[in-house]
Structure formats: C-alpha cells, structure tokens
Structure 1
Amino acid sequence: MVWAHLFIAVWNLTIVSLDFGCPLTVLEKYFRRRGGEQVYAGGYIQHYLKGTIWPEGATPVAEKVGFALLLISYVGLVVLRRARKRATTSP
C-alpha cells in the first residue's frame, strides 16, 4: 500500500505544483452532464473544499500543511523501518 500511496502523493504534488486540473474532476463533470445535472465551475478543491474544510483563501496554506504532514509520515516510516531492521539483524 505504501507504493500506491506514494504514487498518489506524487500525482497530487504534480497537480498542485503545475496547477492543472485532475482528470477525475473532468470525469465527474462528464458524468454530471450525462446525468442532466449542473456542472460546477472550477475544480474539485474550489467547489467542495474552499470555505468548507478550511477558510476561503487558505488553500495554499492547507496544501503546504498537507504535504508537510505527508513528508513527515514518510520520514517516520523510513526511520521505523531502519530501526526494525537494525533490531532484527543485531546479535
């Protein structure tokens, strides 16, 4: 699962840093149109998260905090794996 999670993390970092839309948002809008629903303007984050999960205008801060937490979790994973490896290989 770590590899799948890492792939998604890199994908999200790419979307945020290059500032292009996620293909899943395009797919969602396609199915909304096909279902006769109104399609929202902008992307997923603008529609569902801004002003709901965090205050309006705080998206850059939320992205930085999220990626910092992700980086900390991966560093923690590496540290724990190395500690376990040393513990199992020690005489």
Structure 2
Amino acid sequence: MAYRFLADAVMLVHFAFLAFVALGGFLAWRRPRVLVAHAAAVGWGLVSVLVGVECPLTAWEDRFRRLAGEQGLTRGFVDTYLTGVVYPREYLLTLQLVVAGLVALSWIGFALRRRRRPVRR
C-alpha cells in the first residue's frame, strides 16, 4: 500500500512538473526568480522530447507500481496518461508546438514586463 501511495505521489508530481513546463514562465511574471527553474525544466523537456531521454520520475513511478504488485508503466508517462487518453495520438506534435508557443509567449511577456518596469533605487 505504501508503494502504491508513492507511485501515485510521483505521478502527481510529474503532472505538476508538466504544468510547470507549460505555464511556469507566466508564474515568473510575478516571481522573477522562478525563471531560472523554469528554464531548467524547459531544457529538460526539450532533451526528453528531442533525444528521447526517459524522465527519472517515470522510472520511479514504474518501480513503485511494480513494487506495489501492479503492472507498471509499459510506455512513457505522457504516452500512458495523456496521448490517446486526453488527446488523440495524431495531435502529439501539435500539442508539443502549443506548449512551445506558451513557453515562448511567457518568456516574451516576461521580457516586455521587465523592460517596462521602472528601476528601483
């Protein structure tokens, strides 16, 4: 039962991480220090998508599910919980481009907001 709880907790953290990758740049508009963590998360997301490196969170969830006596993840996190479930498989590239667009928009907005902000003395 503890392993099932850990697997579910890792799954929730993974969803939160994906949300942070997509929307964390907007959070940086209010909390500028978040931008460094967001850039690192986006970098990891790019490596994961472009190179195909498995996320450690996926491995941890898989391990905990197997220790709990479950099947584990036979595919990656996104393929298991999102692709074919939340959106059709043929829209994966479109969704990736939408997320990239959100990141770019949030960073451009961050830069514009910083440029317009008066210098504090």
Let me know the Cα RMSD of the aligned residues.
1.2
- Structure 1-normalised TM-score? 0.85
Give the aligned partner of residue 48 of structure 1.
81
Structure 1: 5+ residue runs without aligned partners? Answer: none
Superposed displacement of residue 51, structure 1: 1.9
Greater relative contact order, per chain length (Cα 8 Å cut-off, separation 6+): 2
TM-score normalised by length of structure 2: 0.66
Helix, strand or coil for the counterpart of 1:51?
coil
Deviations 1:14-67 (A, max 9, x none): 111112211110111011111111113110011000122222221111111101
Q: Alignment partner of 2:79: what SS?
A: helix
Q: Which has the larger radius of gyration?
A: 1
Structure 2 residues without counterparts, runs of 5 or longer: 1-33
Percent of residue pairs bearing the same amino acid type? 33
Written as runs of structure 1 = structure 2, the 5 A alignment for 1:1-91 is 1-84=34-117, 88-89=118-119
Cα deviation for residue 73 of structure 1 reads 0.6
Structure 1 stretches of at least 4 aligned residues deviating more than 6 Å after TM superposition: none
Count of paired positions: 86
